Amino acid sequence: MTEIDRTCAQKLLAMAAEARGRAYAPYSGFHVGAAILFENGETICGCNVENASYGLSMCAERGAMIAAVVKGLKKPVAVAVSGEGGTFCPPCGACRQFLAEFNPDMQVILEGSGDIKLYTLKDLLPFSFSLEGLSGGEKEQ
């Protein structure tokens, strides 16, 4: 996959920041937005949604990916994450695993202290568990 260019990265980060404004995070006070770009050019956003039963809280990245699957989008090429207070917000371990299911080669775009960092998801989650590890598993399209 060709690397996302800077303009595209900035556009995705701006969409993630806009989604962050809609986060529901009354418990942590930490608002997060994510924007996932798909192979067909569509972008789906998500924000974190917390719950009084803390463990039920949902991260922005997983929220976006779930919304995308509902729309039939299963080929993500890049995710931008925007965290609170201009600090880098790398996806948590659960989100890395969740996104790797769909494309471990996708790019992860992060912004903090006025700087943009680009990663490949599989570099952030090496030797991940996948369907190939499940005997008899068959990948749905």
How far apart are alpha carbons 31 and 19 in whole angstroms?
9
Site size toward ligand THU, by CB under 6 A: 14
Kindly tell me the sign of the dihedral angle through the C-alpha atoms of 80, 85, 86, 88: negative
Residues 50, 78, 107, 121: which binds ligand THU (CB under 6 A)?
A: 50
Among 15, 16, 36, 48, contact with ligand THU (rule: CB under 6 A)? 48
The CA–CA distances, whole Å, from 35 to 3, 109, 110, 134 equal: 17, 10, 11, 30
Nearer to ligand THU, 36 or 60 (CB): 60
Under rule CB under 6 A, which residues in 86-115 are in contact with ligand THU? 89, 91-92, 95
Nearer to ligand THU, 76 or 134 (CB): 76
- Reply yes or no on whether 61 is catalytic: yes
Q: CA–CA separation, 44 vs 36, rounded Å?
A: 5
Distance in Å, CB of 138 to ligand THU, minimum: 29
